[in-house]
Amino acid sequence: MADPTAPAPRRRPTILDVAAAAGVSKGLVSKVLSGSAGPSAATTKRVLAVAERLGYRKDRNATLLAKKRTRLIGVTIQPSNVYQGELAEEIQSTVDAAGYETVLGAMTATHDERRAIETLIDFRCEALLLLGPTMPEAELAALVEDVPTVCVGRPLNLPGVDVVRADDQQGISDVVDHLVALGHRRIAHVDGGPGPISAVRREAYQAAVLRHGLEAVVLPGGLTERHGAEALRHLDSGAGVTAVVAFNDRTALGLIEALESGGLRVPADMSVTGFDDSLMARHPRMALTTVSQLTLEQARLAVQAATDRLDGVHQERREILLPTRLIVRGSTGLSPR
């Protein structure tokens, strides 16, 4: 019951179709389409017109297979993470400008970091940008052994892997100085849980309070509002704490929520600080004192590090620390005692 008037199941045109329609060889078409010098102006024009008319598009898989270099840079990302999203967007633009292309490898519940990285390698990416990788270092080392890799946003000490991240230590140190200047003498820290960034901030906190001759009080925490709220339970053991340095903005906001629902005022009874300078921190109702990172700059430098390696500019391992900036808002005030 075939309908003779129905259009043939339109096979997507190949380079051969274009070549035939333009009356040239496929080799010439390839040269025209990749913009290499050689083809005459007349041929170029004709081929381009035919390709356009046929709605021709190169098959990317075939192209990449045939090419010696792919000029592909793979980026792992957790799509639901706002910071990584912003990073990825800037990375994409920078990579574009550098004459490379990006491939995103999403990490989700069913698709862990290892799989994401493997997929990117399978695409024959020439370099990898890992946004806040969480894999065990040894595994990661084995996985990216043969491909230039840049780790963004967390410390990582692997031979061939460049690192670009914010100077968290400086950021936390500034926060503590700020609180001390306000007269606080008992300053606690809500931890970010396991993970290398938490460790950096925790240690920075400990070093900073020690420097001021104060005692370190570390409360178990995590990355989200819930963890911040729960940290309060550990706080109320009457230790006389008047200020809390939270791991990040979300943790801080969760803590504030819990404090206020318990009848305490911020900052009158308790000062609280965050980290990230997120959108929420900026709203006057929140007015969170926090630390701002140069996110876009991180993206640019990470791409730079990768392309520099690919272009043979540098060989040795690089670790780039970007400055942070303390943003003082209304969640911190003079110590009540």
Bridge-partner residues for 149, per DSSP? 128, 161
Q: In whole angstroms, give the CA distance from residue 306 to residue 126.
A: 9
Tokens 């098959």 correspond to 59
Retrieve residue 239's tokens. 């230790």
Among 45, 53, 67, 283, binds DNA (CB under 7 A): 67
How does 97-117 read in b/e, with b if 16+ C-beta sit within 10 Å? Answer: ebebebbebebeeeeebeebb
Please identify, using beta-carbon distances, which residue of 54 and 287 lies nearer to DNA.
Answer: 54
Question: Rounded to whole angstroms, how far apart are CA atoms 318 and 149?
Answer: 11
Please say which residue, 70 or 206, places its beta carbon nearer to its own copies.
70
Minimum separation from the CB atom of position 282 to its own copies (A) = 8
Q: Is residue 21 at the binding interface for DNA, with CB under 7 A as the rule?
A: no
Rounded to the nearest whole angstrom, what is the least distance from the CB of residue 71 to DNA in the complex?
Answer: 10
Pairing label, strands 149-152, 290-293: unpaired
Among the candidate windows 111-119, 189-197, 213-221, 268-276, which touches its own copies by CB under 8 A?
111-119
- Residue from the set 21, 30, 209, 227 that interacts with DNA by CB under 7 A: 30
Out of DNA, its own copies, none, which partner does residue 43 contact, by CB within 5 to 8 A per kind? DNA
Q: Does 315 bind its own copies (CB under 8 A)?
A: no
Residue 193 CA to residue 222 CA, distance in Å, equals 5
CB of 169 to its own copies, least distance (A): 27
Q: What does the per-residue mask of binding to DNA show for 32-51, with x meaning CB under 7 A?
A: -xx---xxx-xx--------
256 binds its own copies (CB under 8 A): yes
- Give bridge partners of residue 266 from the DSSP assignment: none
Burial class (CB in 10 A: 0-12, 13-18, 19+), 149: buried
Count residues binding DNA (CB under 7 A).
30
Query: Any contact of residue 257 with its own copies (CB under 8 A)?
Result: yes
What is the pairing mode between strands 187-190 and 217-219? parallel
Residue placing its CB nearer to its own copies in the complex, 126 or 308: 126
- Give whichever of 19 and 258 is closer to its own copies, judged by the CB atom: 258
Segment contacting DNA (CB under 7 A): 17-25, 72-80, 178-186, 193-201?
17-25
Using CA atoms, how far apart are residues 67 and 64, in angstroms rounded to an integer? Answer: 5
List of E strands, 132-177: 149-152, 161-166
Which CB atom, from 104 or from 214, has the smaller least distance to its own copies? 104
**What is the 8-class DSSP label of residue 224?**
S
d(CA 247, CA 198): 7
DSSP summary character for residue 220: P
Cβ-contact 151, 162 below 8 angstroms: yes
Span near DNA by CB under 7 A; candidates 65-73, 170-178, 265-273, 329-337: 65-73
User: Under the criterion CB under 8 A, does residue 146 sit at the interface with its own copies?
Assistant: yes
Binding mask 117-136 for its own copies (x = CB under 8 A): -xx-xxxx------------
Q: How far does the chain reach from its first CA to its final CA, in angstroms?
A: 90
| Distance in angstroms (rounded) separating the CA atoms of residues 9 and 16 | 18
Judged by the rule CB under 7 A, the positions of this chain that interact with DNA are 11-12, 14-16, 23-28, 30-31, 33-34, 38-40, 42-43, 56-59, 62-63, 65-68
Judged by the rule CB under 8 A, the positions of this chain that interact with its own copies are 10, 12, 57-62, 64-65, 70, 77-82, 84-86, 88-90, 92-93, 96-97, 102, 104, 106, 108-111, 118-119, 121-124, 146, 225, 250, 253, 256-257, 260-261, 279-280, 283-286
